[in-house]
Amino acid sequence: MTDGVERVVFIAGPTASGKSAAALALAEALGGEIVNADAIQVYRDLEILSARPKPAELERAPHHLFGVMGGEERCSAGRWARAAAEIIAEIAVRGRLAIVVGGSGLYFRALEEGLSPAPEVPAATREAARRRLEAIGREAFRAEVIARDPAMAKLPASDTQRLLRAWEVAEASGEPLSAIQARARRPMIAPPVARIVIEPSREGLYAACDARFERMMEEGALDEARRLFERRLDPALPAMKALGAAELMAHLRNEIPLETAVARAKQNTRRFAKRQMTWFRHQAASWPRADEASAACRSLRAVIKD
């Protein structure tokens, strides 16, 4: 069938929850194509540390938006959503199921709800924002952002990424980011035919996070971090702050022993997984749940069949 009708499935959940396994099983069962919705797996420099699908897995089903950007690039939710929407439309022309899988909740939201018409921010403005933050500190920077855009008072000083974004947009456009975000949006794809969040027990998830990082180290994560480190990229770039990469690069700078870097990477991964679970619990409360990959695949197959 090549009628061009979009059939889209969302599979979300925290890191190490089994999302990729569920997506691959569903793709094989139903002739689907997998679209990455993970903010770090888009970077080609982080094949191991982002837990990208292995070559043998890539051969089992078509995969899209994995390892497509260099570490020197910035992948925003908007940039990703535009690319994903184009790919999903192409998958529909082929008459196949698009399986969007990842842990970046804002990516799913951007795709399903649409994007605010925020302007492109010049690199010089982004750099000015970062310099301003470094010069005056988090609290003063937050106060400066709120003076321009009072709606940003909801952001804590620790949320530097979104505070920087608000400063940049106000500087580049002359408008508060909140005013731009309030404008009407249009969905970028047809409504998903099914969706699910994989939500394991916290104990099981934490154990999976630790075990996976051990495997990453055995597979050459330190060498991968060294290659990225040797590129001398801007430390504020997303790829440079990836879980595991940041801690291993601290070791490569002789700041901490390797054992400490590994322990911190595991701890930060567990904390990140906890934040992801909290986000999906609040922002995707209506999505069905499964506690592991095979159960998620069975549930999705039943919904799609119906």
Looking at this protein, which amino acid is placed at residue 210?
Answer: D
Q: Taking Cα atoms as reference points, which of 27, 156, 50, 160 lies closest to residue 103?
A: 50
Let me know if domain 203-277 sits in CATH 1.10.287.890.
yes
Task: For 111-136, give the secondary structure using H, E and C.
Answer: HHHCCCCCCCCCHHHHHHHHHHHHHH
Separation between Cα atoms, residue 203 and residue 210, nearest integer Å? 11
| pLDDT reported for residue 54 | 95
Overall size of the chain counted in residues:
306
Structural tokens at position 279:
């986000």
Judge contact between 220 and 48, C-beta under 8 A: yes
Q: Tally the C-alpha atoms within 13 A of residue 200's C-alpha that lie toward its C-beta.
A: 20
| pLDDT reported for residue 305 | 83
Please state the domain extents for the chain: 8-116+188-202+285-305, 123-181, 203-277
The topology (CATH level 3) of 123-181 is Histone, subunit A (1.10.20)
Judge contact between 177 and 149, C-beta under 8 A: yes
Q: Taking Cα atoms as reference points, which of 74, 86, 57, 89 lies closest to residue 120?
A: 74
To which residue do tokens 């000083």 refer? Answer: 157
User: What are phi and psi for residue 32, nearest 5 degrees?
Assistant: -100, 170
Q: For the segment 137-161, what is each residue's pLDDT rounded down to a tens digit?
A: 999 999 999 999 999 999 999 888 8
Residues paired with residue 99 on neighbouring β-strands, in sequence order:
9, 34
Separation between Cα atoms, residue 42 and residue 64, nearest integer Å? 9
Let me know if domain 8-116+188-202+285-305 sits in CATH 3.40.50.300.
yes
Per-residue pLDDT of the chain (306 residues; tens, 9 = 90+): 456 789 999 999 999 999 999 999 999 999 999 999 999 999 999 999 999 999 999 999 999 999 999 999 989 888 999 999 999 999 999 999 999 999 999 999 999 998 777 777 888 999 999 999 999 999 999 999 999 999 999 999 988 888 999 999 999 989 999 998 888 678 999 999 999 999 999 999 999 999 999 999 999 999 999 999 999 998 889 999 999 999 999 999 999 999 999 999 999 999 999 999 999 999 999 999 999 999 999 999 999 987
Judge contact between 239 and 40, C-beta under 8 A: yes
User: What are phi and psi for residue 292, nearest 5 degrees?
Assistant: -160, 175
**DSSP character for 41?**
T
Q: For the segment 190-245, what is each residue's pLDDT rounded down to a tens digit?
A: 999 999 999 999 999 999 999 999 999 999 999 999 999 999 998 889 999 999 99
Using a 10 angstrom Cβ sphere, with 0-12 exposed, 13-18 middle and 19 or more buried, the burial of residue 63 is: buried
Separation between Cα atoms, residue 138 and residue 135, nearest integer Å? 9
pTM of the predicted structure, to 2 decimals: 0.84
> Strand 8-12 vs strand 97-102: parallel, antiparallel, or unpaired?
parallel
User: What are phi and psi for residue 95, nearest 5 degrees?
Assistant: 75, 25
| pLDDT reported for residue 1 | 45
Q: Taking Cα atoms as reference points, which of 38, 181, 209, 64 lies closest to residue 115?
A: 181
Helix (H) or strand (E) holding 262: helix 258-283
